[in-house]
């Protein structure tokens, strides 16, 4: 199921998840998390928080530990996308404190969110460092859409800092990644073309 999500097979994934009864999802909280990520990717932010709150209410002992940290990483992404950087920062920091080192996907998400928050606050040097860290982790674990997002963010930060040539070169790296990993279908590709 995660492979479908990571390869943007969202319609098939959504139909598959809809076919499962709620009790089956509760037995495997990773499926609840996946369904929430799917909703987030479709900009259904209110539904994400409702789904996660319902799952936390019904799944015993989920308010602690790794799964709760993964929920917080997703909530942080939703908060930054919904224009709430303070809440995004709080949730991303909580997630990073609670996540085990091997839980790379949620670590990538939380690190990216912190980078975006710092960008919003005008702390460009720190933001750039976190976006470079996000890119490195995303490439290492083949999470290509976050690698692309971090490159786009890096180019915008570099542009804001006045490093136009370096921003251009970073965009070139992003286009190269799109071609190598066949990411043309992602909305981020169109966004990159527009900011170019």
**What is the rounded average pLDDT for all residues in the chain?**
92
| Residues of the chain by 3-state class (helix, strand, coil), percent to 5 | 80, 0, 20
The residues, ordered by sequence, that sit 6+ positions from 86 with a Cβ below 8 Å of its Cβ are none
Place of tokens 């966004």: 191
DSSP label at residue 8: T
Token digits of residue 141: 């674990």
pLDDT at 13: 86
CA distance 133 to 110: 11
**Banded pLDDT at 77 (limits 50, 70, 90):** very high
Longest Cα pair distance anywhere in the chain, in angstroms?
54
Decide: 193 and 163 in contact? Cβ < 8 Å.
Answer: no
For the ranges 12-16, 17-21, 97-101, 121-125, the maximum mean pLDDT occurs at: 121-125
For the ranges 9-13, 14-18, 145-149, 188-192, the maximum mean pLDDT occurs at: 145-149
Residue range 78-92, pLDDT digits in tens: 999 999 999 999 999
Nearest residue to 77 (alpha-carbon basis) of 59, 97, 95: 95
Question: 1-121 in CATH: which number?
Answer: 1.25.40
Residue range 1-14, pLDDT digits in tens: 777 776 677 788 88
pLDDT at 43: 84
pLDDT at 63: 67
Decide: 175 and 148 in contact? Cβ < 8 Å.
Answer: no
What percentage of the chain reaches a pLDDT higher than 90?
63
Among 1-15, 38-52, 61-75, the least confident range:
1-15
**Start and end residues for every CATH 1.25.40 domain found in the chain:** 1-121
Nearest residue to 11 (alpha-carbon basis) of 180, 185, 188, 179: 185
The residues, ordered by sequence, that sit 6+ positions from 64 with a Cβ below 8 Å of its Cβ are none
**Banded pLDDT at 104 (limits 50, 70, 90):** very high
Task: Supply the pTM of this predicted model.
Answer: 0.88
pLDDT at 170: 98
């Amino acid at each position: 199921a995660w492979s479908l999500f990571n390869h943007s097979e969202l319609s098939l994934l959504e139909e598959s998840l809809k076919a499962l009864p709620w009790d089956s999802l509760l037995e495997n909280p990773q499926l609840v998390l996946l369904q929430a990520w799917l909703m987030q990717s479709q900009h259904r932010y209110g539904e994400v928080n409702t789904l996660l709150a319902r799952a936390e209410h019904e799944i015993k002992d989920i308010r602690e530990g790794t799964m709760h940290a993964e929920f917080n990483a997703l909530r942080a992404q939703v908060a930054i996308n919904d224009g709430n950087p303070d809440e995004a920062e709080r949730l991303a920091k909580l997630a990073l404190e609670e996540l085990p080192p091997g839980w790379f996907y949620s670590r990538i998400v939380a690190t990216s969110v912190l980078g975006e928050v710092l960008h919003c606050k005008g702390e460009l040097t720190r933001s750039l460092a976190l976006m470079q860290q996000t890119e490195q982790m995303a490439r290492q674990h083949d999470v290509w859409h976050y690698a692309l997002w971090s490159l786009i963010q890096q180019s915008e930060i570099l542009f804001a800092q006045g490093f136009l040539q370096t921003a251009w070169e970073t965009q070139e790296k992003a286009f190269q990644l799109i071609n190598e990993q066949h990411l043309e279908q992602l909305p981020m590709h169109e966004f990159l073309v527009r900011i170019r």
